[in-house]
Chain A
Amino acid sequence: MKTIGSKLGTAVAAAALAVTGFAGAAHAEGELNLLTWEGYTDESFVSVFEEQSGCKVTPTYVGSNDEFPAKLAGGGGVYDLVSPSVDTTTILMKAGLVEEIDVSRLENWDQVFPQFSSHSGVNHDGGVYGVPYTWGAIPFMYRADSFDEAPTSIAQFWEDESLNGKISLWDDKTNIYVVARMIYGNDVNVYDLSDDQLAAVRDKLIELKPAIRKYWSTAGELVNLYANGEVTISNTWGGYQSALLADEGIEMIEFIPVENADGWADAWQIVKGSPNTDCAYEWLNFSLSPEGQCGVVGITGYSGSNPEALGTCKTDEEMMMLHMDDFGYLDSLVLWQEPARVDAYINTWNAVKAAQ
């Protein structure tokens, strides 16, 4: 695991490389511009890909799924591949911003977890529009040194006054899901809430605002909030930020509350009109290969989409820790999908942030 400092160093080096890139790209056959999350194009395995394929990778990072449709709809002609979560991939497919993927060109497609390869987020009109890469949960986590008793339910956020001003939530509409389960029980279909239910969730989230220190929007921001002693509990991209904090000597404990946790999966999509499709398919194949899967899982701490590929570098125990050996865990999570009325959900989250 790398520290934030060395990550910054890598980013600066990557930026410098991007500027002077042409000098070193003598044998490059093409270029790939990736719009993706922190950690998904780490130098440690991207260098292997560049060596193998001759395609040069230039990543741009996003802080939330919002940015994928925004950048592509705004004429994002420079990107070849994007890696949104499976609740956003559908928006890009329906808007015609991404291309259908020819799975016959993918060597390891059959090895992908079927929950992902058959997910509505990558299938549209009988075609495949995304290649699942990583997955995980959105659990909650807390600072081990700040709690005598382990929290078990998010209902404590509203009841426990000692948490006042110590809570951080992701600045994202997905907060609606877990709060809806808190109000209506874990069986409610969080992707098809009625107007009344959305209003109740909104009021509950507004009621919590005085106890919120900050809504976090990037991995680094949440890490800093903990490292600077601003907050003690939050939701998190399971496995990633807690590991970054462990590097800074802060012990974090992740937990799945009684309200259950969302599951997420990210998939690579080819941007419509990308001139570098050969390199794009090289990347898609690499992303499902042992090098690609082991690389990204090693850096982010997330789970991978191809258990066979991961099995080549992980012990049975490690595979168990990553929940790569059982479908049960994955099925127990509420895997993200595009809400039936996505506008109403976004409006609800905006209303929470706007409220006085």
Chain B
Amino acid sequence: MKHKTRRTLNFWALFSAPALWWGTVLLVPYLIMLSISFYSRQFPFHVPDFQFGNYAILLQDSQYYDVLMRSLWISLSVSLSAFVLSYPLAYFLAFKVRSERMRLFLYTATIVPLWVSYLLRAYTWKTILGSEGILNSFLMWTGVISEPSTIFLYNQGAMIVTMAYIFTPFMVMPIYASLEKIPVSLIEASKDLGAPRFMTFLKITLPLSMPGVLAGFTFTFGLSIGDFISPILVGGPYSNMIANVVATQFGMAMNWPLGSALGVVLLFIVLGVITASDKLERVGRLNMG
């Protein structure tokens, strides 16, 4: 008995702080958001209520559907771009760099931008992509174009480039971690049995790195669908994202119930993505036997 009591005490000594943290800054706020999403808007604020009117507005007014679809499409594009950029980089780091010191240097170089403010990095892209920016100056210098092009900045493309750059470290880190764990013996066995390099990659390396890819995808997708800075900085008239609409509802509109309903929808989308990636990972594990 005494032993058990001590274990219980130890358990709470260790976990009461995280439990308190989890409860007060995550669980309780989510519950508050959920309950406000059922409140009624009443100028200038809202009154407690239990009704589904706010969700009905989201379904009836096509502006919310448009913004939601745009947010999904942009987050998906960001995740795919980040994946295409990150996988070769992570592969190179894990398998091609022989020197340990070099690997550490390159890995640090990849993640060091995370220590620079998000705003600063997004602003930098403005100076690169703008009408009188670095890219336009370069293209004019080389003679590819004769006058500055406006197609690089203030549109969805600029947002995808900026976010893909900013969120790439979140894709590289998990992919690198999973590639690094693959036993070299498996790859050697495949080669010994006569499989060509590409076949070895497709059958051994890629499947074994899928958990990392899925984790990276989940991170980048979740981060970009909730982003509201890049639409303001590098987006144009067609760049409003779901998070911008949420911000407006909590701003001038002071329509917290509608803003909360949007927040709940966004939360469930991200939860859905996490669940799907978790399921996919399990399927992958079974296939590997």
Contact = CB atoms under 8 A, between A and B. Distances in A.
Nearest to B68: A354
Contact of A95 (B45, B61, B67, B248): B45
Contact of B251 (A69, A215, A342, A351): A69
A69 B253 CA distance: 9
Contact of A356 (B70, B148, B245): B70
B130 A228 contact: yes
B218 interface: no
Interface stretch (B8-16, B90-98, B108-116, B233-241): B233-241
B188 interface: no
Most chain B C-beta atoms within 10 Å of own C-beta, residue among A88, A210, A212, A347? A347
Interface string B130-171: 111100000000000000101001100000000000000000
A214 B159 CA distance: 13
A213 B239 CA distance: 11
B252 interface: yes
B43 A342 contact: yes
Given A95-B44, A214-B237, A355-B63, A69 B150 contact: no
Given A209-B238, A214-B236, A354-B66, 19 more contacts: A70-B250, A70-B251, A94-B43, A165-B150, A212-B237, A214-B154, A217-B232, A228-B131, A229-B131, A230-B130, A230-B150, A342-B43, A343-B255, A346-B253, A347-B253, A350-B245, A354-B63, A354-B67, A354-B245
Contacts of A353: 237, 240, 244
A354 B250 contact: no
A: interface residue count bin: 20 to 34
Interface residues of B, number: 32
Interface of A: 64-67, 69-70, 73-74, 88, 91, 94-95, 165, 173, 209-210, 212-215, 217, 228-230, 342-343, 346-347, 350-351, 353-356
A350 B132 contact: no
30 contacts: A65-B252, A66-B248, A66-B252, A66-B253, A69-B44, A69-B251, A69-B252, A69-B254, A70-B251, A70-B254, A73-B254, A95-B45, A165-B150, A209-B237, A213-B236, A213-B237, A214-B154, A214-B236, A228-B131, A228-B132, A230-B130, A230-B154, A346-B248, A347-B253, A353-B237, A353-B244, A354-B66, A355-B63, A356-B66, A356-B238
A279 to B, nearest CB: 28
A353 B70 CA distance: 12
Contacts of A342: 43
Contacts of A213: 150, 154, 236-237
Contacts, number: 85
Contacts of B64: 354
A355 B66 contact: yes
B252 A64 contact: yes
Given A209-B237, A230-B150, A356-B238, A350 B130 contact: no
B79 to A, nearest CB: 22
A315 B117 CA distance: 47
Contacts of B130: 228, 230
Contacts of B240: 353-354
Nearest to A208: B237
Contacts of B43: 94, 342-343
Contacts of B150: 165, 213, 230
Interface in B216-244: 232, 236-238, 240, 244
Given A350-B248, A354-B64, A215 B237 contact: yes
A353 B253 CA distance: 14
Contacts of B44: 69, 91, 94-95
Given A230-B131, A354-B64, A356-B238, A67 B251 contact: yes
Most chain B C-beta atoms within 10 Å of own C-beta, residue among A88, A230, A354? A354
Contacts of A173: 252
Nearest to B65: A354
Most chain A C-beta atoms within 10 Å of own C-beta, residue among B130, B244, B251, B255? B251
What 6 A-B pairs have minimum CB-CB distances, sorted nearest first? A66-B252, A354-B63, A66-B251, A70-B251, A95-B44, A212-B237
